[in-house]
Amino acid sequence: MQRRMRGWTWIGGPLLVVLGLLHAGGHPARAQSEPRVEARVSAESVKIGERFTLTLVAARAADRDVMFPGVDAGSAVFGDLHAVRRGAVRTRRPSTARRVDSVAYEVTTFALDSARVPVLPVRLASGGDTTVVGTPPQTVPVVSVVGPDAEALRTPAALIPFPRPAWAWGLLALLTAAALGGGAYGWWRWRTRDEEAPDETESEHPYEAASARLRRLERRHPSGDEAAKAFYVDLTEALRVYLVRRVGVRALEQTTAEVVAALRRRPEVRDATIRRLQAVLEQADLVKFADAQPSPAESRSVLEEAQAVLDALEATRCRDDAQATDDTPSSA
């Protein structure tokens, strides 16, 4: 019996070691396929108004594209940090299956005691799918700029009173009366103009307003990086405002994927129109968030496609309005 137990121990020991190595070896491979993002701050502590560097690093599979936040994202993305400028995206390939991208932001802060660095969103795109991965939040200490002799500081003394001449009071009264009179006249003129002519923005049809904004974009030449971003921001805003006013989709506060999902829940909107709108919005996202630089010819093509999508959406709405009008007498 003891000899049999020694045989099982001799065979089972190496077998358990091999199984343990196989089980442990699966985790690094799976961990390497998952994306990892992190935010790095160049200083352990900063002063108020001092500029320092915030670096975002994204490690992911080589077949996925990365989109970092724009420098104009504001406090909604950067929290207590104010982004001044953004550098170019740097890429290195540790292996054929992995790629590491990084981008550096020159930032500053005016927070007291500590600056909050929130979860910074990094978009990863693969085919038609987009995944948002956030960096861990962190806090940067903000040191005081008051010197070590702060205890010797004193409050300012009271000002020495000087008599003011009488003509200064008269001039001040005259200027005050003129300002009040001018303000009253301006208010009266504004009220009169408001009563005579209605607000053109509110009275203008959503389709006409969106088409007018797209026509104004035809005169622009988005040849540079900033010009291209401004061009595509205005283009997508025209479409999103139309979707809010005419279709009832909260497109101004939704991502491209959320807008597409909301339209798919509306059976009256055709799938072909939704796919064309998705292509326009995704092309604009690449320019705004991934620093894509299309040629002026490509931008004109996207603008023409945006107008075609707008025409298709308006035709659907007009058809539904006409059908609703025809159904009203029959239901009565």
Is 191 within 8 Å of 287 (Cβ atoms)?
no
* pLDDT of 247 strictly over 70: yes
SS3 261: helix
Query: According to the model, what pLDDT value does residue 222 have?
Result: 81
Mean per-residue pLDDT of the chain: 80
* pLDDT class of 332 with cuts at 50, 70, 90: very low
Which helix (H) or strand (E) segment holds residue 123: the answer is strand 121-126
Rg for the chain, CA atoms, rounded:
31
Model confidence pLDDT, tens digit, residues 190-239? 665 544 444 444 557 999 999 999 999 988 878 888 888 899 999 999 99
CB atoms within 10 A of CB 289: 20
Sheet holding 114-117, edge to edge: 46-47, 138-143, 114-117
Least confident piece of the model among 107-111, 151-155, 166-170, 299-303:
151-155
Strands (DSSP E) found in 136-283:
138-143
The whole-angstrom separation of Cα 284 and Cα 237 is 10
Higher pLDDT, 238 or 8: 238
CA torsion 41-255-210-280 (nearest 10°) is 90
β-strand pairing of 138-143 with 46-47: parallel
Query: According to the model, what pLDDT value does residue 163 have?
Result: 66
Share of the chain above pLDDT 70, in %: 77
* pLDDT of 189 strictly over 90: no
Domain with CATH 2.60.40 in the chain: 33-143
Model confidence pLDDT, tens digit, residues 13-51? 444 434 444 444 444 444 456 888 999 999 888 988 889
Mean pLDDT of 119-146: 84
* pLDDT of 180 strictly over 80: yes
Query: According to the model, what pLDDT value does residue 183 have?
Result: 82
Helix axes 225-242, 206-217, angle to 10 degrees: 170
Identify the DSSP state of 245.
I
The whole-angstrom separation of Cα 142 and Cα 149 is 19
pTM: 0.40
Closest by Cα among 13, 6, 56, 11 to 35? 56
Non-local (6+) Cβ contacts of 288 within 8 A are: 70, 229, 232, 233
Domain with CATH 1.20.120 in the chain: 203-322
Model confidence pLDDT, tens digit, residues 63-108? 888 889 988 888 888 888 889 999 998 988 888 888 999 999 999 9
Query: According to the model, what pLDDT value does residue 267 have?
Result: 87
Non-local (6+) Cβ contacts of 175 within 8 A are: none
| CATH number for the domain running over 33-143 | 2.60.40
* pLDDT class of 303 with cuts at 50, 70, 90: very high
Closest by Cα among 69, 70, 76, 122 to 230? 70
Query: According to the model, what pLDDT value does residue 304 have?
Result: 93
Query: According to the model, what pLDDT value does residue 225 have?
Result: 83
| Class (C level, CATH) for 203-322 | mainly alpha
The whole-angstrom separation of Cα 67 and Cα 77 is 14
Q: Is residue 299 classed exposed, middle or buried when 0-12, 13-18 and 19+ CB atoms within 10 A define those classes?
A: buried
